[in-house]
Amino acid sequence: IHATGAKVVLSPLPIGDLATQYFADRNVFCAGRVPEDDMKRVAAACGGAMQSTCNGLNASILGECALFEEKQVGGERYNFFTGCKAAHSATIILRGGAEQFIDEAERSLVDAILSTRRLVKNPTIVAGGGAIEMELSRFLREEARGIYGKQQLLVSAYAKALEVIPRQLAENGGLDATDILNKLRQKHAQGGMWFGVDVNEGGIVNTHESFVWEATVMKRNAIAAATEAACLILSVDETVRNPQSEKPQEGSMMGGRGVGALRGRGRGGRGRGRR
């Protein structure tokens, strides 16, 4: 290993004290019990190859990085590989005072990264803050007026259901949901298709100009999933139940009779003692 010119050795298996001292004498850093996922990520970033044997090693299997250093972050020590030529990603270290704060920050970061990833693949956006839902609701209400029969009620109900999003946003922001919805209906009827809920100022605002955007593909998937769930619930025309599960268990009934019998004999005994 040393003859290949390696300066950092990582292994998923433990490295003994003798091997550790051997590497230390030759100014080679070694670390054992490295998770396999981390091994694969380091190999991909540095351009190296994982080996299952020490025989036939040469410099072509080694990876490269501009700087390798070990740092103390909080109560843990981390190994940093910087300047990796083949790296296409980065590592984010989250620190906080409580585990729940770190978990919440991790979920928020994952949501933001995935949203950005979808937006890069599908670079189209719509205004957020409930603006697109209010515009769809207005459009469906107008279309429902020209539909004859029961279908008109279905389209109107769908349009009303879309208003749940801006209503919930207003309630979460501590605003008067009824007043906000009335203002949004008025604006959208006048052609303000990008007006949504403004939780910062407590009113409505053009969310497109305020940079409150949502990826079009995410909004399509959300509406499609909600529609499919509603259709699935409406398709249920019968429920099945097991009458046997509603009957009391036999063991509990026997236990109740036993207690009553013991109490009866106890009261009778006390009565005879008093006579």
Q: What is the pTM of this model?
A: 0.58
Is 258 strand, coil or helix?
helix
Residue pair 166/133 in contact (Cβ under 8 Å)? The answer is yes
User: What's residue 247's pLDDT?
Assistant: 66
CA separation for the pair 175, 185 (Å, rounded): 16
User: What's residue 261's pLDDT?
Assistant: 43
Point out the residues of the chain with pLDDT beneath 70: 245-275
User: What's residue 86's pLDDT?
Assistant: 80
Q: DSSP of 22-51, one letter per residue?
A: HHHHTT-EEE-S--HHHHHHHHHHHT----
Collect all residues with Cβ–Cβ distance below 8 Å to 148 and sequence separation of at least 6: none
